Amino acid sequence: KRPYDALMPLPKAELHLHIEGTLEPELAFRLAERNGVRLPYADTEELRAAYRFEDLQSFLDLYYELMAVLRTERDFADLADAYLARAAAQGVRHAEIFFDPQAHLARGVAMDTVVEGLWRALGSSERNHGVSTRLIMCFLRDESAESALRTLEAARSHLDRITGVGLDSAEVGHPPVKFRAVYEAAAALGLRRVAHAGEEGPPEYIAEALDVLGAERIDHGLRCLEDPALVERLVRERIPLTLCPLSNVRLRAVDALTEHPLPALLDAGLMCTVNSDDPAYFGGYVGDTFDAVREALGLTEDRLRELARNSFLASFLEDDEERRGR
């Protein structure tokens, strides 16, 4: 039997990863001390004990609270470098990394600090970790469309560092159509487009992300299974889904990992990828996630290889780079 993926990893691309969701409790406390920020937890143990989530919102409350420790370029560089080292150790050769500038701008941290800080780690990642990278700027869907437009404007001088835009945060009640104008503007600037849809929101949000936002990939997309015609369309148009099984369990989108619909999604012919989402919060990086789904769902070696291959096919790497990655 082949050793576990986290130990003897398949080469993989990670396509659904929030960099702020890689903030491990140990680093959070180290940055809090460095920046003189007080966290409302006595120690890492007490903080870890708070990682019991009822749904997406209860997770987001903690996720936004802990960001208070991220203040300087060096903080963002340290955060990204720690992620890239862990990802590399689990077979990640390419990472398309989300970040949430609005959550930082709202705390008085400048776009320049965030992007240049992240870039310090990303720009040397191929050399230091053997991991190529892309940066995807996400808009918070529970903020206004005007705020998203202002954020895109603030990123204008950093577009040499940013490959695409995404849409995240609280989904229900914030349909993709709210962001039509900002996605049109992003497309006109030559940015690639992805969007979270069908995590907690209905299948209609998935279709809308494709039709209205021009999304090239759907982040999560789990609830497509409720609409057979939509599944058929996603298969026909080869729209990748960036699934995050450990996230779905922790945020109670599925009851248990053994109940995760990944096998059904693969059997339907969908272009599935497996990702870690917010690994510091959801209990595993991408190699750990491969191991967990292999164990819980009894995926065959061929299925695991298909998932790893899909991650490169669904990436924003150019064709020649993609072949080198695999």
Closest to 265 measured CA to CA, from 295, 237, 303, 300: 303
Which residue of this chain has its Cβ atom nearest to Zn ion in the complex? 277
SS3 261: coil
Rounded Cα distance between 198 and 219, Å, is 8
- Is residue 168 at the binding interface for ligand ES4, with CB under 6 A as the rule? yes
Nearer to ligand ES4, 18 or 86 (CB): 18
- Is residue 169 at the binding interface for ligand ES4, with CB under 6 A as the rule? yes
CB of 279 to ligand ES4, least distance (A): 11
Question: Which residues ranging from 240 to 279 are in contact with ligand ES4 (CB under 6 A)?
Answer: 247, 277-278
CB of 18 to ligand ES4, least distance (A): 4
Site of tokens 């020649």 = 320
- Is residue 15 at the binding interface for ligand ES4, with CB under 6 A as the rule? no
- The answer to whether 320 and 289 are in contact (CB under 8 A) is no
Nearer to ligand ES4, 192 or 196 (CB): 196
Our answer to whether residue 14 is catalytic in this structure is no
Question: Which residues ranging from 184 to 223 are in contact with ligand ES4 (CB under 6 A)?
Answer: 196, 199
CB of 123 to ligand ES4, least distance (A): 24
Strands (DSSP E) found in the chain? 12-18, 92-99, 132-140, 164-168, 192-197, 217-220, 240-243, 271-274
- Is residue 56 at the binding interface for ligand ES4, with CB under 6 A as the rule? yes
CB atoms within 10 A of CB 283: 16
- The answer to whether 246 and 277 are in contact (CB under 8 A) is yes
Instruction: List contacts with ligand ES4 (CB under 6 A).
Output: 18, 21, 56, 63, 168-169, 196, 199, 247, 277-278
Would you name the residues annotated as active-site residues?
A: 199
